[in-house]
Amino acid sequence: MRGAESGADPADPDVVVVGAGIGGLTTALSLHAAGIRTTVLERTRRIRPLGVGINIQPHAVRELTELGLGDDLAALGVPTAEMVWVDQAGVPQHRQDRGAAAGYHWPQYSVHRGELQMLLLAAVRDRLGPDAVRTGTAFEAVHQDEHGIRARVRDRETGAETEIAADLLVGADGLHSAVRAGLHADEGPLHWSGTMMWRGVTETDAFLTGRTMIHADAGRGARLIAYPIRPGAADRGRSLTNWVCMVSVAEPQPLDGSAGWNRAGRVEDVLPHFADWDLGWLDVPAMLTGAESILEYPMVDRDPLAVWGDGRVTLLGDAAHPMYPVGANGASQAIVDARVLAYELATTDDPVAALRAYEDRRRAATTGVVLANRRMDRSKPKNTAGQAGRAAPEGIYARIATTYRNTTGDDAAELNARASLHPPIRKGTPA
């Protein structure tokens, strides 16, 4: 890496990571664990705990646990025990164990996205130093040669442009990745599923086991997912409930315009689709109206790329493989990306070859997840002749769940037996 090369500034990082989201911060922690110097660039001046709930699957919980964050994660999230598909009246149609209840050695956690990001940020600053994350720094472009990369960045407060020299650059800058745009300038627009999503967080009464994720479908193209995300609320018999309302409003098509997960939504836009819902054990209209704020965005992804990066530049997380959130797998795949990347860099002498090995391993795996999420979304009942409460085809949810698990390799026995991704060496030391 550059720090070992003649003439390299020992203060230069080995790797520049663009983006201080979950994927970028996990990358920094993983590279640090392998002894690889890392700097993270984040365009926002102040990183705040934004967003709503997400799920961290057992394969990603394993990786965060091996980074020493298991206890912190357990204090932050709810260990989801089951997924239950119900109809508009709250009658169960299918049930599936999740996490430890399904035989994994690691739980599935439902957490607040922003709180998880703050946990990772604190760990990066503690382990890598307070200046490891450069906020207010916008990535502009990257130039590379056989010796390394030079990233051109702009200070968003002063407008001043500077360059950062490093050995490699990793674009972990999300759905609207500037690094991806530079690598794949002719890619075209995002793909919209035709579904609009509204998301919020509301304190409600605890429902079912208190660790249940529900998927409710009333036909008419309207669906609801809800699950608790804060363990402290359960101590009071309550639930800080993350909810996602999905409404089919159009046919799949290219998205004309921008998409983001933090656009403000309005309850009057989503409530009419759910105003007559009564699950019995969860007051859906009250949950929607009780949210302090609502986010609105279209369900989008991109076609999988044949190649992610070029030379000394690669992609990670949503920048590499944006996917529909229907499989609750996006953040988890970014975490695994980070760990595989660190493993390849720690165990391969040629850093460019290490990036290609990382891409070869992760591109095939994440392409399978992206396409499985599309199929799962399209296979769910939609617009059932305009009839509320019309029964879904018998066994459809069991088939959807089984097909998704088989397609994405989500198998407890296989994961439990798999060797650790954490490299047994630190970069530059003998095995």
pLDDT at position 31 over 90: yes
pLDDT at residue 314 tops 50: yes
Q: What is the pLDDT of residue 268?
A: 96
* pLDDT exceeds cutoff 90 at 151: yes
When mean pLDDT is compared across 90-99, 249-258, 303-312, the lowest value belongs to 249-258
Beta bridge partners of 203: 240
Contact between residue 36 and residue 345 where contact means Cβ atoms under 8 Å apart? yes
Asked if the structure places residue 101 within a domain, the reply is: no
What whole-number distance in Å separates Cα of residue 38 and Cα of residue 44?
A: 19
The better pLDDT of the pair 234, 242 is held by 242
pLDDT at 340: 95
240 and 228 in contact (C-beta within 8 Å)?
yes
In a domain, 49, yes or no: yes
| DSSP characters over 83-110 | EEEEETT--EEEEEE-GGGGT-SS-EEE
What range does the domain containing 26 cover? 2-79+109-188+309-380
Tell me the pTM.
Answer: 0.91
Residue 57 one-letter amino acid: Q
H helices within 213-350, ranges in order?
Answer: 231-234, 267-270, 284-289, 330-347
Residue 142: count of CB within 10 angstroms of its CB: 25
What CATH number is attached to the domain comprising 367? 3.50.50.60
Lowest mean pLDDT among 22-31, 87-96, 198-207: 87-96
| Residue whose tokens read 């009333």 | 218
- Cβ atoms of residues 197 and 243 within 8 Å: no
C-alpha 242/C-alpha 228 separation (Å) is 6
Q: How many CA atoms lie within 13 A of 256 on its CB side?
A: 2
154 pLDDT above the threshold of 60: yes
Q: Is residue 160 part of a domain?
A: yes
Give the pLDDT of residue 85: 93
Question: How much is the pLDDT for 263?
Answer: 84
Residue type at 268 in one-letter notation: E
Strand partners, 94: 85
Least confident of 25-34, 47-56, 413-422: 413-422
Q: Identify whether 118 is part of a domain.
A: yes
Is 303's pLDDT higher than 50? yes
Q: Is the pLDDT of residue 8 over 50?
A: no
Contact 262, 216 (CB under 8 A): no
Q: Is residue 176 part of a domain?
A: yes
Q: Does the pLDDT at position 40 exceed 50? A: yes
Looking up tokens 């646990």 gives 65
C-alpha distances in Å from residue 68, one per residue of 33, 342, 381, 417: 10, 16, 42, 20
| CA atoms of 316 and 177, how far apart (whole Å) | 10
Q: Is residue 343 part of a domain?
A: yes
22-33 helix and 113-128 helix, angle to the nearest 10 degrees? 30
pLDDT band at 338 (very low <50, low <70, confident <90, very high): very high
What beta strand segments (E) does 11-158 contain?
Answer: 15-18, 38-41, 53-56, 78-80, 82-87, 92-97, 108-112, 133-134, 137-145, 148-155
Q: CA-CA distance, 323 to 372, in Å (whole number)?
A: 9
Cα distances from 269 to residues 297, 324, 347, in angstroms, run 12, 21, 52
- Count of structural domains, the chain: 1
Rounded Cα distance between 200 and 289, Å, is: 10
Residue 333 resides in a domain:
yes
Model pLDDT for residues 177-193, shown as the tens digit of each residue: 999 999 999 998 999 99
Check: CB of residue 296 under 8 Å from CB of residue 196.
Answer: yes
Dist. CA 170–CA 341, nearest whole Å: 10
In a domain, residue 273? The reply is: no
The residue behind tokens 């794949």 is 184
Residue 428's pLDDT is 47
